[in-house]
Amino acid sequence: MDKVFFLGQRSDIKELMCAADLFVLSSEWEGFGLVVAEAMACERPVVATDSGGVKEVVGPHNDVIPVSNHILLAEKIAETLKIDDNARKIIGMKNREYIVSNFSIKTIVSEWERLYFKYSKRNNIID
Calpha distance 9→59 (Å, rounded): 28
Domain 13-122 has CATH 1.10.3720.10: no
Whether residue 1 is predicted with pLDDT greater than 60 in this model: the reply is no
Q: What is the pLDDT of residue 126?
A: 66
Max alpha carbon distance in the chain (Å)?
Answer: 64
Q: Identity (one letter) of the amino acid at 126?
A: I
Name every residue whose Cβ is closer than 8 Å to that of residue 27 and which is 6 or more positions away in sequence. Answer: 48, 49, 51, 52, 54, 67
User: Interhelix angle for 105-122 vs 85-103, to 10°?
Assistant: 30
Of 33, 18, 106, the residue nearest 64 (C-alpha): 33
Q: What is the pLDDT of residue 3?
A: 72
Which tens digits make up the pLDDT trace of 77-123? 999 999 999 999 999 999 999 999 999 899 999 999 999 988 887 77
pLDDT band (50, 70, 90) for residue 4: confident
DSSP 68-126: T-HHHHHHHHHHHHHS-HHHHHHHHHHHHHHHHHHHSHHHHHHHHHHHHHHHHHHTTS-
Q: What is the pTM (predicted TM-score) of this model?
A: 0.82
Calpha distance 99→56 (Å, rounded): 11
Which tens digits make up the pLDDT trace of 35-63? 999 999 999 999 999 998 998 899 888 98
Which tens digits make up the pLDDT trace of 23-36? 999 999 988 889 99
Q: What is the pLDDT of residue 127?
A: 61
Mean pLDDT of 61-68: 92
Domain assignments of the chain as residue spans, ordered by start: 13-122
Calpha distance 38→3 (Å, rounded): 22
pLDDT band (50, 70, 90) for residue 124: confident
pLDDT band (50, 70, 90) for residue 73: very high
